[in-house]
Amino acid sequence: MASYIPTIAYFAFMIAIFYFLLIRPEKKRKKQFQDLMGNLKVNDEIVTKGGIVGKVITIENDNLIIQSGPEKTRIRILKSAILEISSKEASEKPELVKK
């Protein structure tokens, strides 16, 4: 029985490493994405995973309609295609300049 203790400890250690390196960061990314989608609103500027930059016009269940380009082309995309969001209020705030 005593010879199995180091083996069990080794496997427990490997499982802990696996959890902290793979599972926990993925849960954190998922939570951040859900928070991001919860804060999404009309007129937010977004960047898609494909590199399209546009302004949110309509929010539906799993889809968005965005307006992009100088011709104001409307594109329907999935919410899961969003890479980053920058709201209009955040871009209008003046930046602090350090002297």
Q: Is the pTM of this model over 0.75?
A: no
Residues 46 and 82 in one domain: yes
Where does the pLDDT of residue 94 fall: very low under 50, low under 70, confident under 90, or very high at 90 and above? very low
Domain count, the chain: 2
Whole-angstrom Cα distance, residue 89 to residue 43?
A: 10
Shared domain for 46 and 84, answered yes or no, is yes
pLDDT tens figures, 76-90: 999 989 988 886 554
| Enclosing domain of residue 25 | 1-38
Does residue 60 have a pLDDT over 60?
A: yes
- Is residue 95 situated within a structural domain? no
Q: What angle do CA 81, 86, 92 make, to 5 degrees?
A: 160
Residues 2 and 34 in one domain: yes
Q: Which residue shows structure tokens 């949110």?
A: 56
Examine the pLDDT at 95 and tell me if it is beyond 60. no
Spatial distance between the Cα atoms of 96 and 4, rounded to a whole number of angstroms: 61
- Match 């250690």 to its residue by tokens: 13
**Residue 93 covered by a domain:** no
Whole-angstrom Cα distance, residue 7 to residue 22?
A: 22
pLDDT, averaged across the chain: 86
